[in-house]
Chain A
């Protein structure tokens, strides 16, 4: 398994509260990603990072922010959680953005329920 640790693995929170999910990697990979998984939608990219303090939006970035202050850590923050953000969140890493043989590896997921 790729050296990716997500925390917390399970969380229940109330609507309107802030939530931060953490992703930690031990592979020293440059690229890190946050995806969410919802039934019928597969996985959708929220944000990604191509280096320390370098981030960009994915296709479903509204309501989310990210930060990357160290190569190994990528944080996903829900500033004010809503029920529509109930989902499974996956962190992923890859060695390079240019896919000449590159592969994205996924963490084990964080189950978030917003009530």
Chain B
């Protein structure tokens, strides 16, 4: 399997612009997770889906962040409008079930200037 695929790998944008991060989970995995990693806050869960349905979005920072999973093989994380404090590495991960390990994508490094 190709593993979890994320795009783009790097994104540089100006404050106020819309940013869309994309993720393709491992085929057959029912769970998809979005994490954010910063030096200050470490790794934190933003939202996760089970069978394309959002289960827990309590980690989403504010209304500027939104995530969708229109089908089992694709998810997006959107930030609109972006702010410099959103600069971070955003990881997507997937797992076969709730008890199994999560496999991470390579991450998207977002820089908002």
The answer to whether A binds B is no
